[in-house]
A and B are shown apart, each in its own frame.
Chain A
């Protein structure tokens, strides 16, 4: 079975500092995609960053970057220079391209509070 685990239900960080959110996963597929989504209080789910398993280079999007450790099945999200607008729920998700069923497997989320 494919699983996604986010072990940190809640985290907080001071504005302008760096924070890392953890995600581990399990799949037997050889190629897959991993995603981090952000859901602010407005509840609009927004894609933050994606990573293809075949690509060794860690994905980066402005202040957001990932540390993808394929052997360890770890996919952490680093937010640099945290801003108040980064306050949100963050969800890690896996798409393992298993057959024709293209559902994402979701973690339970990490609630991040950025404090002024």
Chain B
């Protein structure tokens, strides 16, 4: 079946503009995660959705970052008034909740460049 998809693959934006990044998880996966990865670095957790529960937003770096998940499926990560330090790869992952291991399946990421 189809894996996790993300769009756009690459995004270049000017400082101060807003951007929206999209994630389409694997069908049936009710848990969804967003991560940020700077060049050559590890994964920085941003936000986690599970079913109808309130999302875990503990990783969002500032109030310029927000995310929503509509209908328990597609998620959008929005960054307002982008700054150069927001430049990174944004990864989305999803998990089958019934899977005890909570193994995460990743999308290909969106590379965001803020000029």
Chain A residues within CB distance 8 Å of chain B: 33, 35, 42-47, 50, 52, 91, 95, 97, 100-104, 106-109, 111
Tell which of A43, A45, A52, A100 touches B101, judged by Cβ atoms closer than 8 Å: A52
Question: Within 8 Å CB of A101, what residues of B?
Answer: 48, 56
B interface bracket (residues with beta carbon within 8 Å of A):
20 to 34
Point out residues on B near A: beta carbons under 8 Å: 31, 33, 40-43, 45, 48, 50, 53, 56, 89, 91, 93, 95, 97, 100-106, 108-109, 111
A104 touches B104 (CB 8 A): yes
Contacts A33-B103, A103-B33 known; A109 to B42 CB distance under 8 Å?
yes
B103 near A91: Cβ-Cβ < 8 Å: no
Interface of chain A, main secondary structure: loop
Nearest first, the 5 A-B pairs at minimum CB distance are A45-B106, A108-B42, A33-B101, A102-B102, A95-B102
Complex interface: chain A residues within 8 A of B91 (CB): 43, 45
